[in-house]
A = this chain, B = another copy of it.
C-alpha cells in the first residue's frame, strides 16, 4: 500500500476535525501534540513533544510524507529546519510568514495591489493615522488577542513600552460587517474557494457564521473570492487559508490571513461536498481538489464558547434536549475543558429558512454552553 502519512503539528480541534476525512480516504495521520489530552490527541495517533526541541520535531517529521500545521505558533526556524532536510512542509516557511507576521502580510497585500486599511509600522514617534486606531502585535495574536483599540498617543506609547517590540497600527474602520473567504490551493497550483461567509463577532471572537452571505451582491461576493485567489497564488499557498475581510459600503478591506483550516469554514463539514479539512489534506498531498459547492441553500454555524458559570459544564447532557428539539442539528464536540471564552465545540444547521436556522443555532449554543437555564 502507498497510502501517505500526513504529520500535523498541533492537536487542537482543527487537527481533530482532519481525522474523519483522513479515515475516509485511508490517509495516515500522526500528530505532534503538546499533551496526550489535547483535543485531537485523544482520538488519533500522536507523539507528545515540545516545538522548541527541534531535534525531536525533526525525528517525528522524518516519519511523515508531508508535514502541515493546525495553528500559527510554529517557530519559523523549525519550518526552515524541516525544509532544509528535504521534508515536505506545507504551507512553506515563506507562505506561512504572512500568517505569522502581520507587517509582512500588509506589505505583501500592498505588493499584490490588494485593499489594505491605512497602516504603518510603529516603533515610537509620530503616527499619521488618526485616533482611535487599532494596534496589533506583529506576531502571536489570534481570536482578538494581540489586538488593541487605542484612543490616544499616550495609550499607544504605554502599549509599545509594555509589548517592547514594533507594532502594526491600522486605521479603525467603521465597517458594515465582516466576512471570510476560505480558499484552498495545491502545489500543482489548482485553487478553489468556497462561498464567502458572513462572520458574526462578539467580544472579538466569532460567534456565528452564515454561508453564503445574505443579501450580498454577486459582484461583491465574486470580488471577495477573487481577492482570496489572488493572495493564494501570490504567496504560493499550499493548503487551506482563511481571508478575513471587512465590508465598508461597496469596499472590501483585508483584515487577517490564517493559513490553515479555520472557524469560518467549519460549516463546510456538512454544508459543502468537500469540507475544508478534507481539502486541506488533498492540497498538501497534491491531490486534485474536491468540489466546494454547497449542498443546501444556507449553512449556519454557531460556536459553543465557555461562559462564566457555576454549572458543572456537562456538555453531553444537553444532547437529549437538543437532538429531540431539532433532529437536523449537527453537533461537534472538541472534548476540551469548558473555560470562559474558550471555543469548546460548534453546531451546524443546513436549510433554507435563514431566520429559523440562525435562531435554532443560537439556542443550541446557548444551551450547550449553559447560558440558558434548564
A316 adjacent to B2 (CB under 8 Å): yes
What's the Cα separation between A69 and B316 when bound, in Å? 23
The tally of residues in A whose CB lies under 8 Å from a CB in B reads 42
Q: Does A143 contact B (CB under 8 A)?
A: no
Q: Does A332 contact B (CB under 8 A)?
A: yes
Contacts of A323 in B (CB 8 A): 282, 287-290
What's the Cα separation between A291 and B327 when bound, in Å? 5
Q: Does A328 contact B (CB under 8 A)?
A: yes
Interface residues of A in 1-46 (CB under 8 A from B): 1-4, 16, 19-20, 23-26, 43-44
B26 adjacent to A19 (CB under 8 Å): no
Q: Does A211 contact B (CB under 8 A)?
A: no
A320 adjacent to B287 (CB under 8 Å): yes
Shortest CB–CB separation between residue A180 and chain B, in angstroms?
22
What's the Cα separation between A4 and B320 when bound, in Å? 13
Contacts of A328 in B (CB 8 A): 273, 290-291, 293
What's the Cα separation between A328 and B289 when bound, in Å? 10
Interface residues of A in 274-322 (CB under 8 A from B): 274, 282, 287-291, 293, 295-296, 314-317, 319-320
Q: Does A89 contact B (CB under 8 A)?
A: no
Q: Does A200 contact B (CB under 8 A)?
A: no
Contacts of A24 in B (CB 8 A): 20, 330-333
Q: In the complex, what residue of chain B is closest to A295 when comparing beta carbons?
A: B295
Shortest CB–CB separation between residue A26 and chain B, in angstroms?
3
Q: Does A355 contact B (CB under 8 A)?
A: no
Q: Does A84 contact B (CB under 8 A)?
A: no
Interface residues of A in 241-295 (CB under 8 A from B): 273-274, 282, 287-291, 293, 295
Q: Specify the main secondary structure of chain A where it touches its partner.
A: loop
The residue that A25 contacts in the complex, of B2, B44, B289, B331, with Cβ under 8 A, is: B331
What's the Cα separation between A44 and B29 when bound, in Å? 12
Contacts of A335 in B (CB 8 A): 1, 3, 26
What's the Cα separation between A287 and B350 when bound, in Å? 21
Q: Does A324 contact B (CB under 8 A)?
A: yes
What's the Cα separation between A293 and B295 when bound, in Å? 13
The residue that A314 contacts in the complex, of B2, B19, B289, B345, with Cβ under 8 A, is: B2
Q: In the complex, what residue of chain B is closest to A271 when comparing beta carbons?
A: B295
B333 adjacent to A25 (CB under 8 Å): yes
B23 adjacent to A320 (CB under 8 Å): no
Task: Using A289-B327, A295-B295 as known contacts, list a sample of 20 further A-B pairs with CB atoms less than 8 Å apart, ordered by residue number in A.
Answer: A1-B335, A2-B317, A3-B316, A3-B333, A4-B316, A20-B20, A20-B24, A24-B330, A24-B331, A24-B333, A25-B331, A26-B335, A43-B44, A273-B350, A274-B327, A287-B323, A288-B323, A288-B324, A289-B323, A295-B296
Cβ contacts A to B, 24 pairs, < 8 Å = A1-B316, A2-B316, A3-B315, A3-B335, A4-B316, A16-B23, A20-B20, A24-B331, A24-B332, A25-B319, A25-B331, A26-B315, A26-B316, A26-B333, A26-B334, A26-B345, A273-B328, A273-B350, A287-B319, A288-B327, A289-B323, A290-B323, A293-B328, A295-B296
